[in-house]
């Protein structure tokens, strides 16, 4: 079993494992990433399963869906945090971002709007998103990219491990 496969298994079953740091290093040494050529792999709904951040909002919790929805061909992304189960269908907190691919690994992220998205009412999704007044920009370097796993490092030094959610699609979050 290669490092990527082993890391996926650990992230799925034991996302608090002490093995994750070493498996990330191994997976990075085995991987070649070029998101300009792997745009279809990069695109989709990703669930945060592990990070080096101390912030509870940037870490895995079995009680929350912590998702990144990425559609770089349309220069947009969404960070979504919602309770798992029925309550998650009622509301979620969201940050809408614009994305710009810089090179084979780096994508610039500019946060544009933040707020709450609720359920559909009379066929229209309830949404309270407001412009972020002070521009917040950063970048992410993707160091591992497979059909099911994405490892990235942020501009503040945080490492993130995300698994692809094939049960969710872009149209669940973005209008076509």
The model's pLDDT over 3-22, given as tens digits with 9 standing for 90+, comes to 999 999 999 999 999 999 99
Tell whether the model's pLDDT for residue 42 goes beyond 60. yes
Is the whole model's pTM more than 0.85, yes or no?
Answer: yes
Question: Does the pLDDT at position 100 exceed 90?
Answer: yes
Task: Please tell me the predicted confidence (pLDDT) of residue 92.
Answer: 73
Ordered DSSP codes for 99-111: EEE-SSSEEEEEE
Distances (CA, A) of 163 to 111, 119, 170: 22, 25, 15
- Residue carrying the six token digits 């079995």: 62
Rounded CA gap, 170 and 69, in Å?
7
pLDDT digits (tens, 9 = 90+) for 111-169: 876 666 655 666 666 666 667 677 778 999 999 999 999 999 999 999 999 999 999 99
- Encoding tokens for residue 83? 């309770």
The owner of tokens 């002490």 is: 18
């Amino acid at each position: 079993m290669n490092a990527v496969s082993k890391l996926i298994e650990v992230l799925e079953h034991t996302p608090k494992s002490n093995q994750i740091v070493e498996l990330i290093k191994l997976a990075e040494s085995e991987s070649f990433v070029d998101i300009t050529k792997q745009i279809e792999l990069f695109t989709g709904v990703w669930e945060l399963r592990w990070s080096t951040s101390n912030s509870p909002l940037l870490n895995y919790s079995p009680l929350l869906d912590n998702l990144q929805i990425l559609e770089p061909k349309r220069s947009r992304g969404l960070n979504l945090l919602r309770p798992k189960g029925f309550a998650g269908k009622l509301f979620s907190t969201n940050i809408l971002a614009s994305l710009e691919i810089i090179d084979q690994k780096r994508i610039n992220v500019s946060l544009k709007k933040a707020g709450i998205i609720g359920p559909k009412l009379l066929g229209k999704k309830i949404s309270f998103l407001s412009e972020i007044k002070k521009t917040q920009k950063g970048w992410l370097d993707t160091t591992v990219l497979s059909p099911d796993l994405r490892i990235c490092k942020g501009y503040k030094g945080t490492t993130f491990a995300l698994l692809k959610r094939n049960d969710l699609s872009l149209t669940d979050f973005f209008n076509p």
